A and B are shown apart, each in its own frame.
Chain A
């Protein structure tokens, strides 16, 4: 009888410890998930900053580039589309389709910005405008910060995905409904180049 009771208590303790181990695994996944979501928030701050800068840039250029109305409108449209995609992605950074939408929209925005800046080359007055120079300086800095934060985001996502896919994390991930998150990759090779803002 004694042996039985002791055995029962030991088995109970072992079961409790095993459950705790599972809980630990689960918590680790939650922590990793939070980390990459946090990393996205970091990008988001910079993206918003850039979305705020672009209308100012266009507004400044308007007075000089009255003939290029379409290009300016295209920039604004691409910016609005990217902003909408950014909001969707921010609400759920783990959703692969939201991230890929955002990355496509960002590619389009970068393309139209490049065209706009290429055109601006032809306007010496605009090139000399102090306001324009300051805005472009801001834009470059923000672009750099985005690419820097994107690296952190991708590293965090990779870490999380590895934990989700390897044993024994994959068992807990399946049980706790942890889905694989998407990396923010630059799909279009042309867009691996940052926006050219140098004159």
Chain B
């Protein structure tokens, strides 16, 4: 199974879960109806027109349906909104403290680097990282899409795990992000909470009843009788609501935990696949077993969020959201004997900041890749089409490649991107026109005008370093700078947006790199303030024309001579037939049109996304050479489709 199959399965599972929940809700409605009818029957027994329990009362049923649905959906909507979208809020709620991107603490530095490498390797934005001040060894991922995901680890994790083990844990969390587990969990928790609301209302009613003393001031015996009857009726109602609510929650939690346990196995397996290092994650699991505090958490929210964690956060048997440690380890390492080694805190060294193991390997291959990059055209080892199979599925080579990219950048640049002002300076200097051109002077004036001299001086300080970067390093460096923008205030973000636009348009033309960078920045910034609005499902006709636009743009990038053929190759891979629509003219492929088309294509199902990405890759690969422009645009496309694609590996 690959990324698309997992996404598809997650969607199907969600559908099944919704069906289960619908059955539960129908059962709840029937039970509440029976309860209400029973009470009404008992209360009106002496009246002239008693409500008969055995006849059907549509008015009661409608009332029950409306109120039960209002409570369940109100509750689940509230919970989904509360936990939904932004992972940052969940992390803060769990007691997480955001790690400053420019932190100088050794443990935190290592953690940030590991996360950054995983993000670059899998083609996702670098997520914000949180630390929970907990002794237990645990970690979590939160957020509903790669764009708003965050990663959190406990202090215990940093103190006891080696770099390799930490990498295994982070890879496990990335699998949750990439496989869309969090979105499914979110729906589950929402519905669970909705059902719990029924029990809560019953409980509140019950508390109110036992708190109010029954007054015997009323001497009228009929009144007293009436009051007692009402109190008894309410009492029974509260009991019934509580019973129904808790029984519903019980079954719903069983479903939730069962699903969660399956996803944990999958994430463990994916972690091995990503890192090609089974011992990393296996050793991390063993350390949990040998650690005095295991993976337990103290925070009061731990129970609610237990499904998000790396290890079991709260003790439980039936409702365990994670399989037992031994079982998890045996799946990775069948020979595991079952005894855990003692875990004690370890001391990280400076050498761990970058991964020492791969350092020497990579150096040998440097020279050849530089020669290829200088020619402006890269020879790629793998066909870009095979990159589609790596979507959401980075392998060791991608991580190595990411580590290598980072390592080859000047340390000054790497430390610069982790600082908010430095991040801005790096982005601006990447946008500058070639040195000593007139455009560059104008651009520097623009920076000065929007941000003042300090930022301009900072840009001047680092611009010689960014000028010296290889072409394939520029976009990754910009992506590394994006988390730094999270620290900016809203006015600063506004300034940044306008300034970026002015810098790009200083030479009256957009390059693919500029387009990619601008798109990544606005995605990061827009997500910060609000969740993206869902677009209504587009018609087939619109989809086809959107596909035509994107494919035409890609085909033109490859050069005029081959554009038509490349376009046809891509179309053939999509529909296995000749294209009914001919290629768009070059001047019809505008960036704003591309933007709109990408938003439309995002709304399709995983299967057709796969087909489309394969078609795009076929189109790129048609002329047997892949330029950096094509690779960058493909990254933008895969990001826009929500299918994070690892960088295409250069032929090193």
Chain A residues near B (Cβ < 8 Å): 1-2, 5-6, 8-10, 12-13, 16-17, 20, 24, 27, 30-31, 34, 38-39, 41-42, 45-46, 48-49, 137, 140-141, 144-145, 147-149, 151-156, 159, 194
Contact = CB atoms under 8 A, between A and B. Distances in A.
Interface string B224-253: 000000000010010000000000000000
Contact of B98 (A2, A16, A38, A141): A38
Nearest to A28: B89
Given A16-B71, A30-B92, A148-B421, 16 more contacts: A1-B40, A1-B51, A6-B67, A9-B64, A10-B66, A16-B74, A27-B89, A34-B92, A38-B98, A41-B100, A45-B103, A45-B104, A137-B461, A144-B455, A159-B489, A159-B490
Contacts of B104: 45, 48-49
Chain A facing B: main interface SS: helix
Tell me what chain B mostly uses at the interface: helix, strand, loop, or mixed. Answer: helix
A175 to B, nearest CB: 19
Interface string B53-73: 000010110011011001100
A51 to B, nearest CB: 12
Nearest 6 pairs of A and B residues by beta carbon: A155-B489, A6-B63, A144-B454, A9-B67, A148-B421, A152-B489
B82 interface: yes
Nearest to A52: B104
Contacts of A147: 454
Contact of A155 (B43, B205, B490): B490
A46 B487 CA distance: 13
B488 interface: yes
Contact of A5 (B82, B92, B237, B491): B237
Given A2-B40, A141-B458, A148-B454, A16 B75 contact: yes
Interface of B: 36, 39-40, 43-44, 51, 57, 59-60, 63-64, 66-67, 70-71, 74-75, 78, 82, 89, 92, 98, 100, 102-104, 197, 200-201, 204-205, 234, 237, 419-422, 454-455, 457-458, 461, 487-492
Most buried by B among A2, A6, A20, A159: A2
A149 B455 contact: no
Contact of A2 (B57, B82, B100, B455): B57
A6 B37 CA distance: 12
Nearest to B492: A152
Contacts of A30: 92
B489 A156 contact: yes
B74 A10 contact: no
18 contacts: A2-B36, A2-B57, A5-B40, A6-B63, A6-B66, A12-B205, A13-B70, A20-B74, A42-B487, A137-B461, A141-B458, A144-B421, A144-B455, A148-B455, A149-B421, A152-B487, A152-B489, A159-B489
Contact of B492 (A24, A140, A151): A151
B420 A149 contact: yes
A94 B457 CA distance: 32
A141 B89 CA distance: 32
B369 to A, nearest CB: 32
A1 B43 contact: yes
Given A42-B487, A45-B104, A9 B63 contact: yes
B44 A1 contact: yes
